[in-house]
Structure 1
Amino acid sequence: MADHYDIIIIGGGPGGYTAALKAASLGFRTAIVEKEKLGGTCVNKGCIPTKSLLYAASKFKELQNCDEFGVSTDFISFDFKKMQQYKKSSVKSYRKGITDLIEEENITVLTGTGIIRRNKTVEVHSAQGKDYYTGDYLIIATGAKCVIPPIPGADLPGVLTSERLLASDNWNYDRLLVIGGGVIGVEFATIFSALCSHVTILEREDHLLGPMDTEVSQALEEELKQRGITIHCQVNVKEIKEDTDHGLSCVFEMGGQEHTIQTGHILIAAGRQPFLEGLLGEDVSLELENGHLKVNSEFQTSEPGIYAIGDAASDILLAHVAAAQGTYVVEKIAGVEHTIRLSVVPNGMFVKLPVVPSCIYTEPEIASVGITREAAVANNMHVCCGHYSMSGNGKSIITSRQNGFIHLVFEEFSGTLVGAQIVCPRATDMISEMATAIANGLTAKQLRLAMRAHPTYSEGITAAIENYFETKGEQGNDERETGTVKKPDGRAPY
């Protein structure tokens, strides 16, 4: 007889383990099916290891440019193998924290590959054999995998995915070509450029970072170019070939002409897609949509009692989105009040605003939440914006990090914050205030009441709010309707 649980979760990544912890805290008998290590791609092969290497590389970069602070060094070098050991230590420590919480909550971890069968039965294949478990509810949280586009030569030695590159212990990356200018691509370009590698990015679209605000992507592109990174946009990669002199060469078309770049290694960072292989048995069929599991507004699949969260079902492939959806689904099953908002429609508006922070850990950091001015105008929303250049911010001057800006988008008539884009150090921390404001429908007047410490990067938020009031008072209706911005000289208001 199959062992029975209230909730069985397939996948132990951020969505899966967050859902499990929430379920256990609400009294459900809970099990997680995970074929590898708890934490999923994010903890073991994605976010945590990447950000660890970014931090280590940034330290090396800082020491190379510390003379202006009165710090002199005779010789600076890096040990890539030790950096990787630091990365592995960070991953191990983070994963242990998750494992400890799972054990404290008496959550059962079923190690193996889970296959969904009829009547909400999960068949688990492990080294010990095959076992069956049943649940009142199933939650699919199987995550995503790297996309390998159909480029001839993409399977050659030296052509890597982000997961393979993260696992490398030895340094032989003097020349790195990155195919894809999204988040993964620009973060790896930042790491290897900081470690003195000659980096080139090839991007298919007309600017980096795809759906990100145009001004944000332009600011990042300028910063990356200043760091010596070569960037080519509107590129069509034709072929990857072996090269006797350098290892590899990449043939691509740009501006109607064919070009060739010689390089040592190529990172393919063309995005990720849901990992659903082997998930469903022959006696179960779940409806798909654009390669994802199709779910309703409550994340229920076409089969009652079976839910899907995170990368398996969402268009937004972020760890914190998966975690938030996991919490939402368990609270829905339990019939308790939701403790998290995934989107919001402010009073008097007709546009649904995502309350999902998007963070990119380049230098400077980039973070956004809500909608951009362009998206607001496309939805016929009348907006007025506040803008502040971080060149005049006290903390930016102290740290010699004066590139960047804060851009806030407010609905014109109510003054409600509907979007924020931040480019500066600690932007990924600062964006939480903006997400909180959008989730609670706060206005510029309410945000203005908050005192922000001096000297901090967050003072730029106050300055951007002040610029909004100046802009709103000085512009005519036609300019406000298109979200035109009057940019201040960058000086702080105090």
Structure 2
Amino acid sequence: MATYYDLVIIGAGPGGYTAAIKGASFGMKVAVVDENKLGGICINRGCIPTKALLHASNIFSMMQHGDEFGVSTDFISFDFAKMQDYKKRSVRRYRGEIQKLFDKNNITFIKGKATIRREKTIEVVGENGKEYLRAKNIIIATGAKPIMPNIPGINLPGVINSDRLLAVPTWNYDRIVIMGGGVIGVEFATIFQALCSKVTIVEKGPHLLGPMDEEVSEALKEQLVKKGITVYCNAMVEEIQREEGLVCTVRHLLTDETTQIKTNQVVVAVGRTPYTEGLLGEDMSLQMEHGRPVVNADFETSEPGIYAIGDVSAKTQLAHVAMAQATYVIENLAGKPHTIRLEAVPNGMFVSLPIVPSCIYTEPEIATVGLTEAKAGELGMKVRCGVYDMGENGKSIIAREEHGFIRLIFEAYSNTIVGAQMMCPRATDMIGEMATAIANGLTAEQLSLAMRAHPTYSEGIAAAIEDAMRQNEK
């Protein structure tokens, strides 16, 4: 006998739990099914634990330079096991807050493996055996899993993916090779460099951070190298061998030369692929493309009443994208007006602007939203850029964090903001203002009306706006 729900969500990550809480707030009877703990990869093995370790390692790094601020100590060290314990406590606290919302909204959480059968029946195999659920609507939010490339030595001890790295309790990272120079790779490089590891990043593409603005990625590379991190772009690890530790053979793709790198650990961070294993029963099929369920503009799959959101279907794999898509789907199902947008078309413009912020928690932080100058040019848009060097910012001088910049992109005729790239302290906090501005089609003049406190990093935004407006006067 199947238990009936208005909504069954498969996956308890940010997309899944957001959909559940939002759906329950509209009076839906909701169940969430996940093989693992509430919170999904993001809370348990991704965003939250990574940022916790970034915070802890940054404190250690800052203490090493405390004498510059008149703060000194005889001995500074770190305990990696205690850092991991701090990380776990942060994760448990965050997961507990989600559980409170589930309890408050009477959301059923079932731990088990979910398989979709015909007629919107979900078979769940879990701790209590097998049970069946029926649903008016189903949301697939199963996320993604790390890609492990098929190269010799990939299964050797000491070769781990990003999920496993965050769970290791003991220190064995004096030397570390990171395969992949995307967001995950550079954030891990930041953590372990701060903890005095000898870090090497090997990136197959021509620059770090993949599709990110090239000027931003080159500026980041410069900072990483300055800190002692070795960066190989246009290169790939083609073999891993065990010889008194591990030895990576790195092939340089432009010259075909090879380099041998000795290391304690190899971290594989070459990307993630949609997780759909066991999702569909033999009596059920969905249109798939490159391993992803195909969805329409409303995130509905080829089967009416079944939706897919987040990393399992989205090209942009970000937790806040999954949460935004979840909100959109639930508001649609409930017949409510939409409270969130993923794109905006400002008045008088013909280009749809992406308003999803991308944030990278390196040192310094990187955050972008909207169009880059190069992308605007590809779209035939004439733009004006306002740039500010954060070395001149008062707060940056006080904190001795004087490297970085803020660049704002404005459409040349209307002065409407269409993009922002920031590389500076607190960039990930400040980018929200720029996303709001793009979503509402604000102009440089309108943005300049807002008073920004002194001394703050956000004064750099005002200075970049002024720089763009000065160009308009010429």
TM-score (norm 2): 0.99
CA contact (8 A) 2:417 2:438 kept: yes
Q: CA deviation at 1:68?
A: 1.1
* Match in the other structure for 1:443: 443
Q: 1:354, CA displacement in angstroms?
A: 1.2
Is residue 458 from structure 1 mapped to residue 458 from structure 2 by the alignment?
A: yes
Asked whether the 8 Å contact 1:158–1:248 carries over to 2, the reply is no
- CA-to-aligned-CA distance 1:444-476 (integer Å, 9 cap, x gap): 1110110000000000000000000112233xx
Q: How does 1:45-444 map to 2 (within 5 A)?
A: 45-244=45-244, 246-254=245-253, 255-444=255-444
Taking the aligned partners of 2:151 and 2:430, their CA distance within structure 1 comes to: 39
Whole-Å separation in 2 of the counterparts to 1:86 and 1:250:
35
What secondary structure does 1:391 align onto? Answer: helix
Task: Give yes or no for contact 2:237–2:248 (8 Å, CA) kept in 1.
Answer: no
Runs of 4+ in structure 1 displaced over 2 angstroms? 246-256
Contact 2:386 2:408 in 1 (8 A): yes
Question: C-alpha offsets along residues 83-116 of structure 1, whole Å, 9 cap, x if unaligned?
Answer: 0000000000000000010110001112111100
Cα distance between partner residues in 2 of 1:350 and 1:397 = 41
Q: Write the distance in 2 (CA, Å) between the matches of 1:448 and 1:70.
A: 37
Shift of 1:70: 0.9
The amino acid that maps onto 2:195 is: L
The answer (yes or no) to whether the contact 1:239–1:252 under 8 Å persists in 2 is no
Q: 8 Å contact 2:179–2:236 — kept in the other structure?
A: no
Provide the C-alpha distance between the structure 2 equivalents of 1:164 and 1:315, rounded to a whole number of angstroms.
24
Does the 8 Å CA contact 1:384/1:411 hold for their aligned counterparts? yes
State whether residues 60 and 195 of structure 1, in contact with CA within 8 Å, keep that contact through their aligned partners in structure 2.
Answer: yes
SS at match of 2:221: helix
Compute the displacement of 1:251 (Å). Answer: 3.6
Q: Give the deviation of 1:38 after TM superposition.
A: 0.6
Alpha-carbon distance in 2 for matches of 1:239, 1:205 = 18
Deviation at 1:130, TM superposition (A): 0.9
SS at the partner of 2:134? strand
**C-alpha displacement at 1:149, in angstroms?**
1.2
Shift of 1:248: 3.2
Long gaps (5+) in structure 1: 475-494
- Contact 1:160/1:267 (CA < 8 Å) preserved in 2? yes
Q: Deviations over 1:347-370 (max 9, x none)?
A: 222221111110000000000011
| CA deviation after TM superposition for structure 1 residue 249, in Å | 3.0
Pairwise CA distance, 1:412: 1.1
Bigger mean CA offset, 16-25 vs 437-446:
437-446
Q: Partner letter of residue 152 of structure 1?
A: P
Percent identity, aligned pairs only? Answer: 60
Whichever residue aligns with residue 351 of structure 1, its letter is V
Do the aligned partners of 1:240 and 1:251 also contact (CA within 8 Å) in 2?
A: no
Amino acid corresponding to residue 457 of structure 2 in structure 1: Y
Alignment partner of 2:77: what SS?
coil
Question: What is the SS of the residue equivalent to 1:150?
Answer: coil
TM-score by length of structure 1 reads 0.95
Secondary structure of residue in 2 paired with 1:119: helix
Aligned to 1:368, the other structure's residue is in SS state strand
Worse-matched range after superposition: 430-439 or 286-295:
286-295
Q: Following the alignment from structure 1 to structure 2, what is the Cα–Cα distance between the partners of residues 371 and 284?
A: 40
Q: Deviations over 1:354-409 (max 9, x none)?
A: 11110000000000011111111011111111100001001001100010000001
- In the alignment, residue 214 of structure 2 is paired with which amino acid? T
Query: 1 CA distance for matches of 2:65 and 2:348?
Result: 51
One-letter code aligned to 1:123:
E
Structure 2 stretches lacking a partner, 5+ long = none
Matched residues in 2 for 1:465 and 1:375: separation? 20
Partner in structure 1 of residue 4 of structure 2: 4
Superposed CA RMSD in Å reads 0.9
User: CA-to-partner distance for each residue in 1:285-335, whole Å, 9 max, x for gaps?
Assistant: 111122211000000000000000000110000001001100100000111
Query: Deviations for 1:246-286, whole angstroms, at most 9, x for unmatched residues?
Result: 33333423422122111111001001111000000011111
Q: Secondary structure at the match of 1:403?
A: coil
Number of residue pairs matched by the alignment: 473
Q: Distance in 2 between matches of 1:372 and 1:243?
A: 45
- Distance in structure 2 (CA, Å) of the matches to 1:153 and 1:418: 46
Q: State how far apart, in whole Å, the 2-side matches of 1:290 and 1:416 are.
A: 37
The separation in 1 between residues aligned to 2:33 and 2:72, in whole angstroms, is 53
CA distance in 2, matches of 1:251, 1:107: 50
Q: Distance in 2 between matches of 1:197 and 1:250?
A: 20
1:114–1:122: 8 Å Cα contact kept in structure 2? yes
2: CA distance between counterparts of 1:408 and 1:149? 38
Determine if contact 1:250/1:262 at 8 Å carries over to the other structure.
Answer: no
Partner of 1:199, secondary structure, is strand
